[in-house]
Chains A and B, each alone.
Chain A
């Protein structure tokens, strides 16, 4: 069964600290992996998209990594800011590219 699992479910860190969010997937056939940020009460916003041939991609303070062999991805946030408080969702795309398997997300809270 195609699944995307994220850990931890929730995380609280202090402003300025770094953190890493994890994503494991069992999706086949795999096309690409995305990370989205979803603020409370808003729609998801794309952070990164990686194909199976890419093992790292950055977007400002966000760096995503992908290990297609172990089917794991991580999202590293550097020097966290209060505005980083949100849910971060890992999404894996099947070959069709518009059929996506969504994780349940990690809820990140940044405390001042």
Chain B
């Protein structure tokens, strides 16, 4: 199993450009998440999905969109990129383990710079 894969690994965008960050998992997990990690800060949840066709906003959703047409894929769309979106983006997936706690598995991340 490849686990959670993300593409691209690095990207530089100009202000106002758009792009899609790809995320795929092969563990048949229902739950998937997008986080951003800024230097010296904890991860912030952008969007999450509890299954195909179902998505919901996290803590910092502004400027982003997601879709979940299949169990495996959960792409994150950035429209009109802004310097504040410079960050490292992590995709994760999870399944419920003992007492309902979700074990989250993370991809390697996408480092995005907006200039």
Contacts and interface: CB of A to CB of B under 8 A. Distances in A.
A31 interface: yes
Contact of A93 (B44, B50, B101, B107): B101
Interface in A14-71: 31-32, 34, 41-46, 49, 51
A83 interface: no
B42 interface: yes
Interface size class of B (residues with CB under 8 A): 20 to 34
B96 A43 contact: no
A43 B42 contact: no
Chain B at the A interface: SS class: strand
A58 B58 CA distance: 31
A104 B109 contact: no
Interface of A: 4, 31-32, 34, 41-46, 49, 51, 89, 93, 97-105
Interface of B: 4, 31, 33, 40-45, 48, 50, 58, 90, 92, 94, 96-97, 99-109
